[in-house]
Amino acid sequence: MLDFKKNYFELFGLPVSYVVDMDRLATRYRELQRVMHPDRYASASDYERRLSIQGATQVNQAYETLKDPMRRARYMLSLSGMDMSADNETTKDAAFLMEQLELREELEEARGKPDPYAAISELMGGINRRINSLIGQMAVQFETGQPEQLEAAKETLRKMQFLQKLRDDAESIETELDEVL
């Protein structure tokens, strides 16, 4: 049975840090599911099955949160009492916004290219590089935990959300292309 009061890092026996050792996280995930997963209780009583489903659900939720750089950031901000779900602000970084517009235009144009898949794939590569660089900034911002650094992390997260949206849209265009086939 899981202690639901533990935070996700504690649950996985990891230090609270934005930089997560992904191999260790994956190993802990498997170890926890080995004892919690409902398949371990396939012929157990209803009560045991219920506990195991709750536990396995919590472990999955924690894993999904810690694995993903954006969810992890949002979660760490919430641990510091900053709720990002109600965040209506947007980034005011003009250069960043301008770059977003350009990327969006490129994405629209990719559709009409002779090899649209290659064009989209290249664009995705660029988006991923930008996200990775933001992840690096985020790690530094979370390191000190100072209020102004956390504010900066919020700003970084907002930028990441822009890029994520762009990545989602690139994926939808690819799906549309598949359907035309």
Partner 1 sequence: MALLQLSEPGQTDAPHQRRLAAGIDLGTTNSLVATVRSGNAETLPDREGRHLLPSVVRYTEAGVIVGEEAKASSIEDPLNTILSVKRMVGRGLEDIKSLGSRLPYHYAQERTAVPRIQTVAGDVSAVEVSAEILKALAMRAEETLGGDLEGVVITVPAYFDDAQRQATKDAARVAGLKVLRLLNEPTAAAVAYGLDSGSSGVHAIYDLGGGTFDISILRLNRGVFEVLSTGGDSALGGDDFDRVVAEWIMRQAGISDDAGRSMLRQLMHDACAAKEALTRTAVTELDVDLGNGARWQGLLTRDQFNELVDPLIKKTLGPCRRALRDADLSREDIQDVVMVGGSTRVPRVRELVGAFFQTEPLVEIDPDRVVAVGAAIQADVLVGNKSDDEILLLDVNPLSLGIETMGGLVEKIIPRNTPIPVARAQEFTTFKDGQTAMAVHVLQGERELVTDNRSLARFELREIPPMVAGAARIQVTFAVDADGLLSVEAMEQSSGARASIEVKPSYGLTDGEIETMLRDSFEHAREDVEVRRLREEQVEARRVVEALSAALSEDGDRLLNADERKQLESALAGLVALVEDQDHEVIRKGIQDLEKACEFYVERRMNASVSQAMSGHKVDEFE
Q: State in angstroms the smallest separation of the CB of 102 from partner 1.
A: 23
Q: State in angstroms the smallest separation of the CB of 99 from partner 1.
A: 23
Q: What is the DSSP letter of 105?
A: H
Site string for partner 1, 62-101 (x = CB under 8 A): -xx-------------------------------------
Q: Which is nearer to partner 1, 1 or 95 (CB)?
A: 1
Number of residues that bind partner 1 (CB under 8 A): 46
CB-based burial label for 82 (10 Å; 0-12, 13-18, 19+): middle
Q: State in angstroms the smallest separation of the CB of 172 from partner 1.
A: 8
How far apart, in whole angstroms, are the C-alpha atoms of residue 141 and residue 158? 14
How far apart, in whole angstroms, are the C-alpha atoms of residue 60 and residue 52? 12
Looking from the CA of 173 toward its CB, the CA atoms found within 13 Å total: 23
Residue from 37, 104, 154, 158 in contact with partner 1 (CB under 8 A): 37
Residue 144 to residues 69, 82, 137, 159, Cα–Cα distance (Å): 18, 16, 12, 21
Q: Mind giving me the DSSP string for 112-156? A: TSSSHHHHHHHHHHHHHHHHHHHHHHHHHHHHH--HHHHHHHHHH
Q: State in angstroms the smallest separation of the CB of 10 from partner 1.
A: 7
Residue from 8, 25, 32, 130 in contact with partner 1 (CB under 8 A): 32
Binding site for partner 1 (CB under 8 A): 1-2, 9-10, 13-15, 21, 26, 28, 30-40, 42-48, 51-53, 55-57, 60-61, 63-64, 117, 171, 174-175, 177-179, 181
